[in-house]
Structure 1
Amino acid sequence: MKISVRNLEPTKAKLTITVDKDEFDPYLEQARKDIAEQITVPGFRKGHVPGKLVDQRVGFGAVAGEAVNKTIPDMYSKALDEKNIRPMAQPEIEVVEMPESASDDTKLKFTATVERRPEFELPNLEGLTIAVDKAEVSDDDVNNRLETLRQRFATLVGVDRPAQKGDFANIDLTAQIGDETVDSQEGVSYELGSGTMLDGLDEALDGLSAGEETTFESTLEGGEHEGEKAQVKVKVNSVKAEELPELNDDFAQEASEFDTLDELKAEIRKNIEADAEGRQASLARDAFIETLEAGLDLPLPKGVRKQNIDQQLKTAGLDGDDADPERKKQVEEEVDKMLRDQMVLDALAEKLNVQVSQADVYNFLGSIAQQYGMDPNMFIQALMRNGQIGSAVEEVARSKGMLEGMRAVSFTVDGEPLDLTNFLGSDEDDAQAQAEEDESVAAAAAAAAVADNLSTDAE
């Protein structure tokens, strides 16, 4: 196989790949065998039709086309490895030449244009010390947590005044389209300002007292007339306001197992400090990635960048052309950071020779499935159908590489060593986990193995 590479941009390359005849012939033979299983030729059993007869029966072009479809992915993958090109998107493939007959000596030649990760050098991790901002715990943090607890024990008390934001109103609703009443509800409890019902309801209720009513226009959000405009009449039956308990020892006894408010506050501070350890680990992670990226001028692949920006805007319900400039700028900055982080962590995983096992992939996808309340097997099979297993494997590799990299450096807070063992684990933990895993393979092989196992289990 002959490979030539032309760099079109720092993040885009065009590979021209010429496949030798002795490399292409096995694919031709396999294509003939596959086709022989599908055709019927008098005098021969299926799957036992000679190759020459297959060529005559379906035409050499069909055989060669089948072979090319299998050859190109394999040769493209080998070319990437040989030239150390790390793709960030699917390639654009163009077949330039291919044999037209079994006796034609023309070699298969194709081009692959692909957006790639740029070349860059990561800093040496050995002996590196990274300063991290301290995750502070303030009295305001304690008071805010205490106020949240206080609100859980609030009671609703009737008030003789107009409703305002934060009040709870008991209301009757009637929706009409023309002269027809299409929906009605009575005795509904609604918190003003929550925005959990019809558009315009908060504005209509603001300032109404018990016994008063008004009409406003809104779009129905359910039922047979979903999406249609309607005139909605709302009547206020009662208005209640939250009454918060007084912060004292009695409240502490009612809301917790503690006898005094001071004891409750101490427990809240203890819990917040535990949370602060997690925030400290997050700050260390961010500082670690920033250190890796410091001084690197990382060009971003234009096509991948645009695709991600468009997808983010679409997910947010925004049109790329008409999106608010500030919101679009925010999305662009988020995508730029995401791509930079991904490229750096991918390079780190390669530098550290991170291996991804079956258990790694399954546990990662299983945890995501659990978050969404899905069956792990069904979730993973859905990813397989959409060709997204590879992306999951990449995420696992990035995570493992980041943990291994963070364990290789030192962190300090205010000049004092920062111990992150509770969050990063240790190399011994990884070694033990690896010993318990029967096989540990490279990312692509692990993904394929997981997919095969899950498919078999499903059957």
Structure 2
Amino acid sequence: MSIKTSSKKLKENQVELSVEVSGEKFKEAVANSYKEISKKAKIPGFRAGKIPAKVIESNYGKDYVIQQALEKSIPVFYSQAVHESGIQPIDTPQIEVVSAEEGKELKFKAQVQVEPKAELPSYKDIKVEFEKPKVGQEEIKGQLDMVRNRFAELNPAPNKVADEGDHVMINFDGTVDGKAFEGGSAQNFMVEIGSKTLMPEFEKQLVGSKAGDIKNIVLQMPPQLPNEEIAGKTANFKVLVK
């Protein structure tokens, strides 16, 4: 085998892997390191990718080549060791290189946190007290009303006089000091009277209207509005009930 792995438990959920990579396998990693450096190196008289190993060593040093090989290959060898050992790491390992010489075995250790084993107590004898909930008529009515409203269909009622809880479709155009303002106009706007979708006083003045009515609604705008041009001022709305 090209990789030998053994594991040792250090703490409750910490394991140390000892990994040995065959000399042949590590030699391949070093050879690949030479190739990668050759592609990127800029050495006068040599084309990228065609630089001999001896020239690379004389310019960069053998230790640099080995270090590059370790950085590329150890993550791969570590993943293989994890797979073979069957552990389940939950964080990044701490790597310690024991020995790394070209043509000889690469040896390194990896300390890593693994999933803790949880021991559950016996649950069969656990008793849970359950108090049956008490549901009153008011709660039942509230839930039924919610379901009705959710699935209800709106049907036109052209001759009906609008009342609290009715849905009314309107067009409205609002002005302050004779000028239109942002958010003051809408077309085909559906509002439920009493829902406070619009200002409560606006909705209240829709009570008693019917399709085709044109209403002029005068409101005092709230002083805390972020739009200073209309905050605290009187707004006039021309409303068409549809």
TM over 0.5: yes
Structure 2 residues without counterparts, runs of 5 or longer: 120-146, 207-214
- Match of residue 41 from structure 2: 39
CA positional deviation for 1:33: 0.7
Q: 1:216 to 1:38 in 2, by over 3 A?
A: same
How far apart, CA to CA, are the structure 1 residues paired with 2:73 and 2:204?
Answer: 73
Contact kept in structure 2, 1:5 and 1:16, CA below 8 Å: yes
- Match of residue 76 from structure 1: 78
Q: 1:36 to 1:172 in 2, by over 3 A?
A: same
How far apart, CA to CA, are the structure 2 residues paired with 1:17 and 1:174?
Answer: 78
Contact kept in structure 1, 2:18 and 2:108, CA below 8 Å: yes
- Match of residue 94 from structure 1: 94
- TM-score of the pair, normalised by structure 2: 0.55
SS in 2 for 1:187: strand
- Match of residue 168 from structure 1: 168
Q: 1:157 to 1:8 in 2, by over 3 A?
A: farther
Contact kept in structure 1, 2:30 and 2:102, CA below 8 Å: no
How far apart, CA to CA, are the structure 2 residues paired with 1:189 and 1:19?
Answer: 75
Q: 1:236 to 1:182 in 2, by over 3 A?
A: closer
1:252-301 Cα distance to aligned partner (Å, 9 max, x none): xxxxxxxxxxxxxxxxxxxxxxxxxxxxxxxxxxxxxxxxxxxxxxxxxx
SS in 2 for 1:155: coil
Contact kept in structure 2, 1:94 and 1:111, CA below 8 Å: yes
Q: 1:3 aligns with which of 3, 6, 10?
A: 6
Which residue identity does 2:187 align to in structure 1? G
Structure 1 residues without counterparts, runs of 5 or longer: 121-143, 220-228, 241-459
CA positional deviation for 1:116: 3.4
How far apart, CA to CA, are the structure 2 residues paired with 1:115 and 1:86?
Answer: 5
- Match of residue 360 from structure 1: none
Contact kept in structure 2, 1:163 and 1:169, CA below 8 Å: no
CA positional deviation for 1:30: 0.8
More strand by share: 2
CA positional deviation for 1:81: 1.9
Matches within 5 A, 1:344-355: none
CA positional deviation for 1:93: 2.7
SS in 2 for 1:4: strand
- TM-score of the pair, normalised by structure 1: 0.33
Which residue identity does 1:51 align to in structure 2? A
SS in 1 for 2:15: strand
Matches within 5 A, 1:211-230: 211-214=216-219, 215-216=221-222, 229-230=226-227
Contact kept in structure 2, 1:208 and 1:236, CA below 8 Å: no
1:17-75 Cα distance to aligned partner (Å, 9 max, x none): 43446143321221111111111333433222222332333344543343233323322
**2:110 is equivalent to residue 111 of structure 1:** yes
- Give me the identity figure in percent: 14
Contact kept in structure 1, 2:216 and 2:239, CA below 8 Å: yes
SS in 2 for 1:109: strand
Which residue identity does 2:15 align to in structure 1? K
1:276-333 Cα distance to aligned partner (Å, 9 max, x none): xxxxxxxxxxxxxxxxxxxxxxxxxxxxxxxxxxxxxxxxxxxxxxxxxxxxxxxxxx
**2:204 is equivalent to residue 207 of structure 1:** yes
1:215-245 Cα distance to aligned partner (Å, 9 max, x none): 35898xxxxxxxxx335868472557xxxxx
1:377-413 Cα distance to aligned partner (Å, 9 max, x none): xxxxxxxxxxxxxxxxxxxxxxxxxxxxxxxxxxxxx
Contact kept in structure 2, 1:16 and 1:110, CA below 8 Å: yes
- Match of residue 50 from structure 1: 52
What CA RMSD, in Å, does the superposition of the two structures yield over aligned residues? 4.5
How far apart, CA to CA, are the structure 2 residues paired with 1:109 and 1:8?
Answer: 20
How far apart, CA to CA, are the structure 2 residues paired with 1:5 and 1:216?
Answer: 72
**Larger Rg computed on CA atoms:** 2
